Structure 1
Amino acid sequence: MRLGLSSLAIIALMGAGSASAQNTTAAVAPIIDVHMHAMAEAPWATPVCPNQARFEASDPKNGPEAPFGWSSEECSPKLYPAPKGEYMKAVLAEMERLNVRGVVFGDVEAVKTWQAAAPARVIPGTAFGRVEGGDPANQLKMLEVAFTKEGFKVMGEIGLQYEGISPSDMRVDQYFALAEKLDIPVAIHMGTGGSGRANIAMPTYRGSMGNPLLLEELLARHPKLRVQVMHAGYPMIDNMLTLLQANSHVYVDIAGLIWSYPRKDVNRYIERLVDAGFGDRVLYGTDQLAWPGLMAYSIGLIQNADYLSPEQKRDILYNNAARFLRLEPAK
């Protein structure tokens, strides 16, 4: 059963414990969200309009400057943060209603909390922390324990771009060597960030460090490494396609960009990936941070994409991720 945005929105509004919601879940084709976060609260979050049409410039003379550049246009549906103390519960309820399994990233203990609450829905992921001022020996030990003894499945989110560091930097090579040795896929942030205001909110972030071609030396050193390029290297589509042409172990997720950039450009970017022949390497994701309704909304964008065939939609929403993560195919 394939659902459009309107049907998904109806499901999202159902009560978590209702018999109708449970029956509908059983009928909905399974989905994998490869990019979620094990947050407890998001006190910074406000209601947001997804796919806003523009980013606004700011003037340092008129400060203080807002950390996000999204315009303040109105929209329907608007996404609302979960009530205080209800975020995990609300997101897991959405996953149950929409038949979603998700790769949930965060520190080990936070992810374990999510996994304990919904073991059938949560695929655990964790990563090393900051490079500058970090403790490499302890981080390497933590990762080895997580992946060999605690059942973690993906190394991510690896946020080197926020420190202005290339993924091929030798300071982090030992972590990728461990992932290759243990046959663990890695999920690396590349591309989106800052919502038009990285210069204000994240002074060490560098757009240039999101260039997908910066992965080439890393991939050459670790030829068996499976890589998930988070945010699909947006907006550097030509370099992203060049990397995909040269490396068959690289996949891309469309999380974050699917809702935080203008819809026309988002669709054009995904269409370029598919039209270039890489429809079997595009992974659905949300970058779930604060708004439980984000999942139904972003699934709807794929379900309603007129440039995708039904088979391509199922590949993006489930089949590609199942192959990348080596899960059972959908029955």
Structure 2
Amino acid sequence: MSLAIVSLLGAGEAAAQNTSASPSPIIDVHMHAMADAPWAVPVCPNQARFEASDPKNGPEAPFGWSKEECSPKLYPAPKGEYMKAVLAEMERLNVRGVVFGDVEAVKKWHAAAPDRVIPGTAFGRIEGTDAAKQLRMLEVAFTKDGFKVMGEIGLQYEGVSPSDMRVDQYFALAEKLDIPVAIHMGTGGSGRANVAMPTYRGSMGNPLLLEELLARHPKLRVQVMHAGYPMIDNMLTLLQANSHVYVDVAGLIWSYPRKEVNRYIARLVDAGFGDRVMYGTDQLAWPGLMAYSIALIQNADYLSPEQKRDILYNNAARFLRLDPAK
């Protein structure tokens, strides 16, 4: 495990330190405008297993990752340094990123690095919120404040389907304004959603739950976050039926065993959807996630150089309709 991590991190460093030219551009389609993360501890990415727990044995940990050792570990940013550290990594690695969060937090990130940050925001919880107020907030964000993506939409954490009519007005707005939407589907809870997230429902991560939404809004562009992991067959079914749907491999890329991650990405590409797989980190707490996860794609022996560039840049540039001149 430790040798694998050293190898991956080394490849990321090599890419960043190419002295003949700047690193090839990369787009991370799934980042978060966080500040400090007091809950974060050093982690070993791609841990080998998730451990069972027993409620009889006292308080259960909110994460199920096994207690492996590795060298080096990924460490949280020092207090007050997270944004600065992540933006420095983006500059070093030549990354532009879609940064999600509440409007004011994302504005701070964009102001600090306007050439690196693509702003994104979304409506919040469904229960107990003012839908009309949220709709107005989104319309201002996308028509006046320069926001580009509606996300992260975390309906799965409330046990709500993306095709639920209670949220249809938000997707109707996105289609009207031609704004892509990024919807959490798949991974969550790190093996302990039953402990830490009682309203989370794995079944609401089924990619086929998007079908009715897509039928109602045929021009809507959808980014399935976490690639609907682990429901690969349903994910492929949705991609086959809907050409406006892309996936990101964020979160999945570092929080599941490496063999499983590579197998899942390979299935997407081998099924013919290599032009709809987008790189992402789900950037949280640990600034080192970016170099680590970029290297995982760069070192993937099952991907051709062209497929790697598609995943790391070309597919996202097309999905986001970025100006090639910039």
| TM-score w.r.t. length of structure 2 | 0.94
- Are the aligned partners of 2:248 and 2:278 in contact in 1 as well (CA < 8 Å)? yes
Q: Taking structure 1 as reference, are residues 316 and 20 closer, same or farther at Cα in structure 2, changes over 3 Å only? A: closer
Does the CA contact (< 8 Å) of 2:13 and 2:291 recur in 1? no
Report the alpha carbon displacement of residue 329 of structure 1 after superposing the two structures with TM: 3.8
Contact 2:62-2:195 within 8 A present in 1 as well: yes
Residue 23 of structure 1: how far off its partner (Å): 7.9
Kept after mapping to 1: 8 A contact 2:8/2:299: no
CA contact (8 A) 1:162 1:205 kept: yes
Q: Does structure 1 conserve the Cα–Cα contact (< 8 Å) formed by 2:51 and 2:65?
A: yes
Give the 3 Å change call, closer, same or farther, for CA 259–21 of structure 1 in structure 2. Answer: closer
Asked if 2 retains the 8 angstrom alpha-carbon contact of 1:9 and 1:297, the reply is no
Worse overlay, 321-330 or 257-266: 321-330
Aligned-partner SS, 2:20: helix
Deviation at 1:160, TM superposition (A): 0.0
Contact 2:254 2:293 (8 Å CA) reproduced: yes
Mark the CA change 1:68 to 1:16 in structure 2 (over 3 Å): closer, same or farther.
closer
Alpha-carbon distance between aligned partners in 2 of 1:62 and 1:46, rounded to the nearest angstrom: 23
CA contact (8 A) 1:12 1:296 kept: no
Cα displacement (A) at 1:167 = 0.1
Deviation at 1:77, TM superposition (A): 2.8
Q: Deviations over 1:254-301 (max 9, x none)?
A: 000000000000000000000000000000000001000000000000
Counterpart residue number, 1:296: 291
Cα deviation 1:154-181 (Å, max 9, x = unaligned): 0000000000000000000000000000
Cα separation, 1, equivalents of 2:302 and 2:205: 27
Q: CA deviation at 1:36?
A: 0.1
SS in 2 for 1:17: helix
Moved more, 11-20 or 79-88: 11-20
The list of structure 1 runs, each at least 4 consecutive aligned residues, that deviate by more than 3 angstroms after superposition, is: 7-26
SS at match of 2:151: strand
1:51 and 1:36, CA in 2 relative to 1: closer, same or farther beyond 3 A?
same
| Deviation for aligned residue 1:27 | 1.6
1:75 is displaced (CA, Å) by 1.2
Residues 5 and 72 of structure 2 are in contact (CA less than 8 Å); yes or no, is this contact kept in structure 1?
no
Any conservation in 2 of the 1:8–1:296 contact (CA below 8 Å)? no
1:24, distance to aligned residue in structure 2 (A): 4.8
For the structure 1 residues 259 and 137, does the alpha-carbon distance in structure 2 shift closer, same or farther, using more than 3 Å as the test?
same
Q: Deviations over 1:116-165 (max 9, x none)?
A: 00000000000000001111000000000000000000000000000000
Q: 1:330 to 1:283 in 2, by over 3 A?
A: farther
Give the 3 Å change call, closer, same or farther, for CA 200–8 of structure 1 in structure 2. closer
In 2 relative to 1, CA 313–180 (structure 1 residues): closer, same or farther, beyond 3 Å?
A: same
Taking structure 1 as reference, are residues 49 and 249 closer, same or farther at Cα in structure 2, changes over 3 Å only? Answer: same
Cα shift readout 1:54-93 (whole Å, capped 9, x = no counterpart): 0000000002000000001001231000000000000000
Structure 1 stretches of 5 or more lacking a match? 1-6
Query: How far apart in 2 are the matches of 1:138 and 1:162?
Result: 21
In the alignment, is residue 21 of structure 1 matched against residue 16 of structure 2?
yes
Asked if 1:36 corresponds to 2:28, the answer is no
Tell me: CA distance 1:272–1:112, structure 2 relative to 1, closer, same or farther (3 Å).
same
Cα distance change of structure 1 residues 11 and 202 upon mapping to structure 2, 3 Å threshold: closer
User: How far off its partner does 1:19 sit?
Assistant: 16
* Stretch of structure 1 that moved more, 100-109 or 26-35: 26-35
Distance 1:91 1:11, change over 3 A: farther
Equivalent residue for 2:72? 77
8 Å Cα contact 2:207/2:228 also seen in 1: yes
Q: Flag the 1:67–1:328 CA change in 2: closer, same or farther, 3 A.
A: same
8 Å contact kept, 2:50–2:66: yes
Query: What SS does structure 1 have at the residue aligned with 2:243?
Result: coil
Change (3 A) 1:43 1:13: farther
- Report the secondary structure of 2:286's partner residue: coil
- Which sections of structure 2, spanning at least 5 residues, go unmatched? none
CA RMSD of aligned residues (A): 3.2
* 8 A Cα contact 1:9 1:296, kept in partner: no
Distance 1:116 1:303, change over 3 A: same
Shift of the 251–139 alpha-carbon distance from structure 1 to 2, 3 Å rule, reads same
Q: How many Å separate the matches in 1 of 2:245 and 2:167?
A: 19
Residue 10 of structure 1: how far off its partner (Å): 13
Q: Is the 8 A contact 1:25 1:99 kept in 2?
A: no
Equivalent residues, number? 325
In the alignment, which residue of structure 2 is the partner of 1:217? 212
Cα distance, 1:265–1:171 mapped onto 2, change above 3 Å: same
Pick closer, same or farther for the CA change 1:22–1:74 going to 2, 3 Å.
closer
Contact 2:8 2:295 in 1 (8 A): no
In the alignment, the residues of structure 2 paired with residue 76 and residue 269 of structure 1 have an alpha-carbon distance, to the nearest angstrom, of 26
Asked whether the 8 Å contact 1:25–1:97 carries over to 2, the reply is no
Tell me, in whole angstroms, the C-alpha distance in 1 between the residues paired with 2:60 and 2:148.
Answer: 40
- Contact 1:55/1:196, CA 8 A, preserved across alignment: yes
